[in-house]
Amino acid sequence: MDSSPETEPGFALGTPEPPKATPYRVLARKYRPQHFSDLIGQEAMVRTLSNAFDTGRIAQAYLFTGVRGVGKTTTARILARALNYELPGEVDRPSIHLDRPGTHCQAIMEGRHVDVMEIDAASHTGIDDVRQITDGARYAPVSARYKVYIVDEVHMLSEKAWNAFLKTLEEPPAHVKFMFATTEIRKVPVTVLSRCQRFDLRRVEADVLVNHLAGICEKEGVAVDPDALGLIARAGEGSVRDSLSILDQAIAHGAGEVTAENVRRMLGLADRARIIDLFEHVMKGDVAAAMAEFKSQYDDGADPEIVLGELAEFVHFVTRVKVAPAAADDVAFSETERSRGRDFAGRLSHRVLARAWQMLMKGIEEVARSPKPLASADMVLVRIAYAADLPTPDEALRMLADGSGAVGAGAAPRLPSGGGGGGGGGSAQAAAAAAAPRLSSVARPEGAPVAMREQAAPQAQPHMVLASFAEVIKLAAEKRDVRLKQQLEGDMHLVRCEDGRIDFRPTRNAAPTLAGDLQKKLTDWTGRRWVVTISSEEGEPTVRERLAAEQADRERGVLAHPAVQAVLAKFPGAEIVAVRPLDGGAEAEPAPLAPAAENDGEGDWEPVDPWDDDF
C-alpha cells in the first residue's frame, strides 16, 4: 500500500503547520525612528528641514555628521521617505507630515526600495563605484518621485572618487537627491561641503536619553532602576544606539530586570558610592583608609584603571558643581552622587580639585602602561593623598615670604582629616607648617648640593617694572640682543603693553616663534613670569613705521621752510637727503636758521634768506 503524507503517522488531514517563531529584533532596530518627531535631541535640524519643506526650499544634497549612533543614516531614510511621500488621492508632494504610511514608506524604511539606494562607501571607495552612481543618476526613478542616493561613511571615498562626484553633485538632475553620512567630517573635501547642506547631529543629553530609555522599558514591560538608566546613559556617551545596545544586554543579564548593581557588574564599573568614599579618604589625606578601600574594590573585581577613571569623573563632577551649582541636578547621576557632590563642592577649593584632576590624568596613563596596575594605582592614590595636605603654590609662596609655617587667611579649604596612618593626621594648617621646610628645599634645582638645598630660601629679586614698550626695547638693547630688538621695532603692531603682559599683532614677515621667544626672554631677564599673546586687533604702527612717518613729517616741514625753498629754487634738481639735528644727538625739531633782524621782544623768530644781499 502506497503511503502518502495524509496517511503517515504524525500527520492529520487539514491540520495547519505550526506558526514560525518571529526572530528577535534588537531594541536599536525595533525602536528606530520612523518620523521626524521620533528623532530625539536634534530639534535644530528637524526645525530647519521642516521649514525647508513648508517653503519648498529643498536642497539637492545633504550631509549629516556626528558621532556614532546619533541617527545619521536613520535621518537620511526619513528624509528620503519625506521626499517621496505619497498618499493616493490625498498627498502628491514632499511632506514632513508622515503620520500615515505612504505608498513608498515601508520599502524605504526597510532599505529595499528600488529608487532609494543605500551605498556603503567603506566597501565602495573607488572611482568605478562613483561612476556607476553618476551614470545611474541620469535615468528617471522607476516609481517614486525622486531617486535618492544615501552614501554612508562617505569619508572613506578616495580622492579620485570625490573628484568624479563633484560635477554631478553640483548640478544633479532634477529627479536626483544625494544624502551623505559621516563620522569624520574633516576628511570630506571642502569642495564637497560647499555643495551640500550640512547638519551636525549632536550627542543626546543624558536626561533626554534617560527619559527615552525609560519609555522603551515601559513598552517592553521591563522593571528598571532609575540609577541603572543613568549608568547606561553615561556609558552610551550620547549615542542612542550604544545606549539601546547596553540596555538590551542589561535586560538579558538581569533576566528581565535592570538594576544598578547588575549594570555595574556587567560593565565592569565600580560602585559609585564606594568611589565617593575613596575620594573622601584621599581628600582627607587618610592614606591607610584610601588604600584599604581601593584594595577592597580590587578584590571585588574592579579594574585599577577603571577605578581611577571613575575617581577622575567624580572630581570633574564636583568641579562642575562648584562652578555651576545647577550641574548637581543632572539626572544621569544618582541622588547619592548629587548630594555628596554638593557637599564636596562647598568644602574643596578650585585649586585642590584641579591638582587632583591633573594627578589622576597622569596616574591613569601610568597604570595603563604599568606591568603591575594595582601597585601603580596604589602609588597614585598615595601621591594624591599626600598632596592633599600640602599647601597650594600661592600658599607656599606666602609662607616663604612671611618666614613662617602657618597658612594665612587666604588658604584653600580642605576636608578635615579623619586620622589614620600614612600622613593624614592633623589639621591642614599643621600639615602646611610641616611642609614649609620641605618646600624651601624642593624649590632648589635638581642635582644641587645637599648643603645648598638645606639653606634658607634666597632673597627675592627686586621687582623690575617695564611699564612701556619703549622700556622693553631698551632692555633688549641693554642685554645686547640685537635680533630681538630689531623684531620689537619692525615686526610687532603693539595692542597692549603693561607690566607683565604684552599683546601684539605680528607683521607678515614676523617669525612664528616671536611671541614665545619674547615671553621666555622677558621671564628670564626679569625673574618673573610674563604673558605675551598674539591679538587679532589692528594695533599701533610698528616702531620702525612710526619713526619713518615722523622723519617724513620733518622732511615735509623742512621742505616747506622759505629758506629751504629758496635754496632749492637757486639749485634746480637739488633734493633733501636727510634731516638731522645740528648737535648730532637725539632727533629734535629743526632749529630756526637765524634771529630776526627786528625782534619785538616776545621771543618770535623769523627765518632769514642766506642768499639775500643784505645778509
Structural domain boundaries of the chain?
27-200, 206-267, 270-458, 469-540, 555-615
CB-based contact 187:162 (threshold 8 Å): no
Report how far apart the first and last C-alpha atoms of the chain are (Å, whole number): 157
Q: Is residue 12 pLDDT above 80, yes or no?
A: no
Share of the chain above pLDDT 70, in %: 78
* Choice among 1-5, 39-43, 253-257, 311-315 with the minimum mean pLDDT: 1-5
Q: Cα separation of 274 and 261, whole Å?
A: 12
Q: Cα separation of 561 and 555, whole Å?
A: 10
Q: Cα separation of 430 and 406, whole Å?
A: 7
HSE of 446, CA atoms in CB hemisphere, 13 A: 0
* Mean per-residue pLDDT, 298-315: 87
pLDDT band at 509 (very low <50, low <70, confident <90, very high): confident
| Helix, strand and coil in the chain, % to nearest 5 | 50, 10, 40
Tracing cell 538594576 back to the chain, one arrives at 259
Q: Cα separation of 555 and 543, whole Å?
A: 18
* Mean per-residue pLDDT, 73-95: 88
* Mean per-residue pLDDT, 216-241: 87
CATH number 3.30.1490 given to 469-540: no
The one-letter amino acid at 205: E
DSSP summary character for residue 71: S
Grid cell digits, residue 349: 577649593
Phi first, then psi: what are they for 54, rounded to 5°?
A: -65, -35
Tracing cell 545596545 back to the chain, one arrives at 245
Grid cell digits, residue 266: 556587567
* Mean per-residue pLDDT, 39-46: 86
3-state secondary structure of 223: strand
DSSP summary character for residue 117: E
pLDDT band at 36 (very low <50, low <70, confident <90, very high): confident
Grid cell digits, residue 259: 538594576
Candidates 428, 416, 353; CA nearest to 389 is 428
The one-letter amino acid at 297: Q
* Mean per-residue pLDDT, 545-567: 82
The CATH code for residues 27-200 is: 3.40.50.300
The CATH code for residues 206-267 is: 1.10.8.60
Beta carbons within 10 angstroms of residue 408's beta carbon? 13
CA dist 207 to 203, 231, 313, 518, Å?
A: 12, 11, 18, 48
Fold assignment, 270-458: Zinc Finger, Delta Prime; domain 3 (1.20.272)
Grid cell digits, residue 179: 544624502
Q: What is the pLDDT of residues 363-391, one digit of tens each?
A: 999 999 989 989 999 999 999 988 876 66
Q: What is the pLDDT of residue 587?
A: 44
pLDDT band at 535 (very low <50, low <70, confident <90, very high): confident
Q: Is residue 5 pLDDT above 50, yes or no?
A: no
Beta carbons within 10 angstroms of residue 279's beta carbon? 25
Q: Cα separation of 187 and 157, whole Å?
A: 9
pLDDT band at 198 (very low <50, low <70, confident <90, very high): very high
What single string gives the DSSP state of each residue in 29-47?
HHT---SGGG--S-HHHHH
pTM above 0.75, yes or no: no
Q: What is the pLDDT of residue 461?
A: 47
